[in-house]
Amino acid sequence: MRREKSNYIIQSVAHCLDVLEQFSGEAEELGVTELSKRLKLHKNNVFRLLATLESRGYIEQNRATENYRLGIRCLQLGQSYVQHMGLLRQARPIMGELVRQVRETAYVAVLRRAGVVPVEVMEADRPVRIVSQLGETLPLHATAAGKAYLAFESEDELRALLPDGLSRFTERTVVDRQTLLQQLRSITTSGYAVDMGEHVEDIRAVAVPVRDYTRNVVGTLAVAAPASRLTNERIEKEVAPLVLKAGRELSSRLGFDLGRREAQG
């Protein structure tokens, strides 16, 4: 008689994973006391778990505050996961061509809990350009990359991904839920999302969804630039068509059968 896999769970390993999962969302740093309360474990046990994770690079300690945060190995594993999916391998040549055409920074982002995270960035060869930090969690409702994800999610997924209160980052940030939903419906029609200084005041961006053979959105491809260079006219006439084309090519390389999908309606 086969035993359930749950019977084989190693408690100490499960506790290590519980520790790592506490550093999601806005909890960038946590102390031993706070982790002990959250996990309902003795402080000595938490300290030993942290020491084990720190020795392997999954956790690091801020010497100034003595609190803990995720280590570089977490990012490296995340990047390995995305690479194994083939997304980055297929995206790099397409991103390179897109950057050459628009002379602006391009990046690929993936969904991570309640945000999108850039996992590959190619910068433009200009003195003034956008520098996107790998691994930085960006808000879904205030970025082009995030909205390109949200627009193609189900209503149930939207409820799970979007908090009741939407954070404001600039005067342009959409914090009214109904207004945001109207934007998302428009994105499903046009095929691309824009950020008109909604996350960072002087930065604009255009993004499209990237799908794979399962027809699910597995990432977003975006171009970001200073607001002075990414005008409404340039977005509509130049940048959006090029990003849409690059997104279709990347989706096709990942096995998304665009022609069949359109034919089936």
Q: Which of 70, 89, 114 is the last residue of a domain?
A: 70
Assign 82 to helix, strand or coil: helix
Question: At residue 243, does pLDDT exceed 60?
Answer: yes
Q: How many CB atoms lie within 10 A of CB 61?
A: 16
pLDDT per residue as tens digits for the range 111-157? 887 789 988 899 888 765 666 666 788 999 999 999 999 999 888 88
pLDDT in the model for residue 155: 83
Specify whether 88 is located in the same domain as 176. Answer: yes
pLDDT of residue 114: 78
* Pairing of β 138-139 and β 105-112: unpaired
Three-state DSSP at 196 gives strand
* Mean predicted confidence (pLDDT) in 225-249: 94
Q: Which two tokens stand for residue 171?
A: 């005067």
Is residue 39 predicted with pLDDT exceeding 80? yes
Give the type of residue at 180.
Answer: L
**CATH, residue 85:** 3.30.450.40
CA distance 155 to 161: 10
pLDDT at position 127: 65
Per DSSP, what are the bridge partners of residue 208?
221
Helix ranges (DSSP H) in the chain: 11-21, 32-39, 43-55, 72-85, 87-102, 144-150, 155-161, 177-190, 232-234, 240-253, 258-264
Query: Starting at the edge strand that comes first in sequence, how are the strands of the sheet with 115-122 ordered?
Result: 138-139, 115-122, 105-112, 217-226, 203-211, 193-196
Q: Which residues are registered as beta bridge partners of 107?
A: 121, 222
User: Last residue of a domain, which of 47, 70, 93?
Assistant: 70
The proportion of the chain whose per-residue pLDDT surpasses 90, expressed as a percent, equals: 59
Highest mean pLDDT among 17-21, 22-26, 212-216, 235-239: 235-239
In this predicted structure, the answer to whether residue 7 has a pLDDT above a threshold of 90 is no
Q: Is the same domain home to 142 and 18?
A: no
**Domain match, 97 and 227 both:** yes
89 and 177 co-located in one domain: yes
Number of domains in the chain: 2
Find how far residue 158's CA is from the centre of its chain.
15
Mean pLDDT, to the nearest integer, of 151-180?
89
Distance CA 113, CA 23 (A): 11
For tokens 């096995």, name the residue: 255
Looking at per-residue confidence, does 193 or 112 come out higher? 193
Kindly indicate the confidence band of residue 264, based on its pLDDT and cuts at 50, 70 and 90: very low
pLDDT of residue 265: 41
pLDDT of residue 207: 97
Domain span at residue 243? 76-264
Q: Judge if 137 and 174 occupy the same domain.
A: yes
Considering the domain architecture, whether residues 24 and 106 belong to the same structural domain is answered as no
Asked if pLDDT for residue 3 goes beyond 60, the answer is no
CA–CA separation, 265 and 258 (whole Å): 11
